[in-house]
Structure 1
């Protein structure tokens, strides 16, 4: 079954081809019966990851902060296609809300096997005009949340001697980006956090890796910028990337499935670029 949704001129396509497989084929799903929490899972990359994980048999927790309608649409799409999913609202930069969410997931499904720390914000502002409050907000949502979520799920993963933590960084950390100093700094911090955490938790069978997307065309970008800015961005990327088209959330899911699956059990502390060859590192 294929699901396609038109979002202001952008078609995001997701495939649920596993539903209706034979029992043997169903057992071959890479994430069968694993509980996967995706923060910022209602739109963009997070949405694509939620749907991809469900297609591989995971029980998906769609976390959101202020997009309840979109989160429910993701949950409904998964349920309609034969998967399992729940929705959890939480500000992932708030320790109390994170603890409440993880406790609720534990009561429903017994714990968390896979975490994708995807929630993030990227306000555009010249560096010297950024206020302390704005700086702290970006750091809290983008970086502190990775720490809070990882800390909250650690007891479950430690007990099971298994866990997959995937943090979403950005290629802007590798190349820099004007107008986004706070965002780039937070994404660089995620890479450092990933490498240090990998050394902390490896003895418990937990892997910690990061993925750095390129300039992914998401609902948030479309709502943030005007048509002229979007066209300029597309023209620039057509020259800089190895591929002339814009990157879509669906281009990301293979890497996320791989790092969440047993195929990557001996891979940890790594940064995987998925950016169409924009930055070669």
Structure 2
């Protein structure tokens, strides 16, 4: 009995996939057999490199630029992906920003932008892929949340709010799609060795009971797990080295 998902013949979209967790997820999905669209906003060279790595695994890949916080850009992106790879079966909402701000320093524009990129983008992309998933009777949506959805976090209250909203979005969609062959789950990493964590001055590894930062590949393993499980929906899987238990 195979323990990993068989995604052969499936098309996946990973938003914010030019580097970090998104890139690791895109490669893991390709290793499981999926063709993958690599979304990015600014880092074209890195996105193209990720797409080339996916092709090196024998899968089709497309690097596609779009600000997924904007509806028109999402619509155009989806059209490009369908033309280049086919209808999207698996969506990973990973795009996000993490502006470190103290409460007093946070501006209205920064709050709005954080919610647009981290939360609104997940809604826009999910809305765009749902009609096709419904028609085919199969779909997987995985939202990349954060331990900040339930804990204090290290970025700021705007980031907390955006990730808590993403988990609410996850449960809401899951409840309404449970009989459509579509599962919706979240993966919530904490203190993963990415640019976001490296940008801080604190020794974050000391906060982790396991004694080290997590890796993007370990988060990707959790994404593969929920993507491959047809009986699991509306759940948040924490990847945090023992920092929280639920």
Q: Distance in 1 between matches of 2:188 and 2:50?
A: 23
Q: Which has the larger radius of gyration?
A: 1
Residue of structure 2 equivalent to 1:258:
225
Extract unaligned runs of 5+ from structure 1.
1-24
Residue 246 in structure 1 maps to residue 246 in structure 2: no
Q: Distance in 2 between matches of 1:256 and 1:269?
A: 14
Q: Distance in 1 between matches of 2:179 and 2:12?
A: 21
Residue 43 in structure 1 maps to residue 14 in structure 2: no
Residue 164 in structure 1 maps to residue 131 in structure 2: no
CA contact (8 A) 2:97 2:117 kept: yes
Q: Return the match for 1:62 from 17, 38, 48.
A: 38
Q: Distance in 2 between matches of 1:82 and 1:196?
A: 36
Cα distance, 1:107–1:179 mapped onto 2, change above 3 Å: closer
CA contact (8 A) 2:60 2:85 kept: no
**Cα deviation digits, residues 34-78 of structure 1 (max 9, x gap):** 101000111110010011111111001100011111101111111
Deviation at 1:220, TM superposition (A): 3.9
Q: How does 1:1-281 map to 2 (within 5 A)?
A: 30-177=6-153, 179-222=155-198, 224-225=199-200, 229-230=201-202, 232-234=203-205, 236-237=206-207, 240-241=208-209, 243-261=210-228, 264-281=229-246
**Cα deviation digits, residues 135-192 of structure 1 (max 9, x gap):** 0000000000010000001111011011000001111122212551100110000111
CA contact (8 A) 2:94 2:144 kept: yes
Deviation at 1:214, TM superposition (A): 1.0
Moved over 2 A (4+): 219-222
Equivalent position SS for 1:157? helix
Deviation at 1:273, TM superposition (A): 0.5
Q: Distance in 1 between matches of 2:26 and 2:155?
A: 30
Q: Distance in 2 between matches of 1:179 and 1:122?
A: 6
Equivalent position SS for 2:104? helix
RMSD (Å), alpha carbons: 1.5
CA contact (8 A) 1:31 1:260 kept: no
Q: Distance in 1 between matches of 2:116 and 2:143?
A: 14
CA contact (8 A) 1:173 1:187 kept: yes
CA contact (8 A) 1:126 1:178 kept: no
Residue of structure 2 equivalent to 1:14:
none
Deviation at 1:201, TM superposition (A): 1.7
